[in-house]
């Protein structure tokens, strides 16, 4: 702890005399209508390379992914409603998810402004699922979409997880010749399905 005291001592010695007050930051909210928020989410996600589908049951989602990724051999799901062929509970080490072609996750909520979804170890089960999977399918209850980053941060409980990530579409880079390429180190694609959170069985 003496190192901390030394650091604090150095800071105190050099602190500017004038103190600036902490400002009030509004949430800049404008939209009340849920349908408008949902549409904004769809548009924002499209801008960053994600695709949304509005479906009523899981079988339809599965069909879309079969059509899209015919060759997906290893499917691993962290959700209750979609069963894959690699059981996440049996995975011993995060690196063992390296062979996953399609990872399935239920997002905790969405942000309309950005087309982002919030994932934590509670939704990922193993964090590497969200990044080692070649492709991702994400389920999102449209009722959980919040308007912007201000409202998003006000609703997160940072005690509920050790890790949390706003994921906005697939992995991307423009580091070679300033050309946009999707699928840099993480997932090559992100398909989002609007699907209500199932009510637990009685």
Partner 1 sequence: MKINVEKNAAAFIHMDDVHQPTHDKNLWNARMKRDRMAASIPEWEQMRDLASQIKEHALTHLDQYVKQFVTAATKRGTVVHFAKTAEDHNRIIYEILKSHNATKIVKSKSMLQEECEMAPYLESRGIELIETDLGERIQQLSGEMPSHIVMPAIHKTTDDVAELFARTIGTDPNNKDPQELTEAMRNNARPKFLEAHAGLTGANFAVAETGAFVVCTNEGNADLTAAIPPLHIASIGIEKILPKTEDLGLFIRLLSRSALGTPATQYTSHFMGPREKGAELHIVLTDNGRSERLGKAEFWYSLKCIRCGACMNTCPVYRRSSGIAYGATYSGPIGIIIDPTFDDKKYSELPFHSSLCGSCTEVCPVHINIAEQITLWRQHMVRIKESKPCLHYAFNVAGKLFGSPKWFRRAEKLGYYGLKLAPDWLVYNKTLNAWGKNRQMPAIQKETFRDWYIKNRVK
How far is it, in rounded angstroms, from Cα 139 to Cα 190?
Answer: 11
**Of the residues 164, 191, 192, 193, which one makes contact with partner 1 according to CB under 8 A:** 164
**Of the residues 70, 89, 158, 199, which one makes contact with partner 1 according to CB under 8 A:** 158
**C-alpha closest to that of 107 among 28, 169, 43, 172:** 169
Distances (CA, A) of 32 to 20, 37, 38, 41, 130: 34, 8, 11, 14, 31
Q: What DSSP element (H or E) covers 197?
A: none
**Of the residues 105, 152, 192, 195, which one makes contact with partner 1 according to CB under 8 A:** 152
**C-alpha closest to that of 104 among 80, 120, 121, 122:** 80
**Of the residues 154, 199, 201, 202, which one makes contact with partner 1 according to CB under 8 A:** 154
Q: Judged by CB under 8 A, does residue 153 bind partner 1?
A: yes
Site for partner 1 in 59-118 (CB under 8 A): 94-95, 98, 113-116
Site mask, partner 1, residues 119-138, x = CB under 8 A? --x----xxx-xxx------
The minimum distance between CB 98 and partner 1, in angstroms, equals 6
Contact region with partner 1 (CB under 8 A), list: 53-61, 68-76, 179-187, 192-200: 179-187
Q: What DSSP element (H or E) covers 101?
A: none
The minimum distance between CB 152 and partner 1, in angstroms, equals 7
The two most distant CA atoms of the chain are separated, in Å, by 65
Site for partner 1 in 31-70 (CB under 8 A): 44, 47-48
């Amino acid at each position: 702890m003496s190192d901390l005291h030394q650091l604090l001592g150095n800071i105190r010695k050099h602190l500017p005399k004038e103190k600036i007050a902490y400002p009030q930051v509004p949430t800049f909210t404008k939209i009340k209508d849920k349908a408008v928020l949902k549409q904004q989410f769809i548009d924002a996600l499209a801008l960053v390379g994600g695709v949304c589908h509005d479906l009523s049951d899981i079988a339809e989602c599965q069909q879309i992914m079969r059509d899209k990724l015919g060759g997906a051999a290893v499917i691993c799901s962290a959700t209750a409603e979609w069963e894959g062929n690699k059981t996440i509970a049996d995975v011993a080490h995060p690196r063992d998810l390296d062979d996953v072609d399609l990872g399935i996750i239920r997002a905790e909520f969405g942000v309309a402004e950005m087309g982002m979804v919030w994932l934590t170890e509670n939704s990922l089960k193993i964090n590497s699922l969200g990044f080692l999977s070649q492709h991702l399918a994400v389920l999102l209850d449209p009722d959980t979409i919040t308007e912007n980053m201000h409202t998003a941060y006000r609703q997160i409980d940072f005690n509920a997880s050790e890790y949390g990530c706003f994921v906005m579409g697939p992995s991307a880079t423009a580091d070679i010749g300033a050309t946009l390429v999707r699928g840099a180190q993480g997932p090559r694609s992100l398909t989002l399905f609007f699907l209500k959170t199932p009510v637990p069985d009685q």
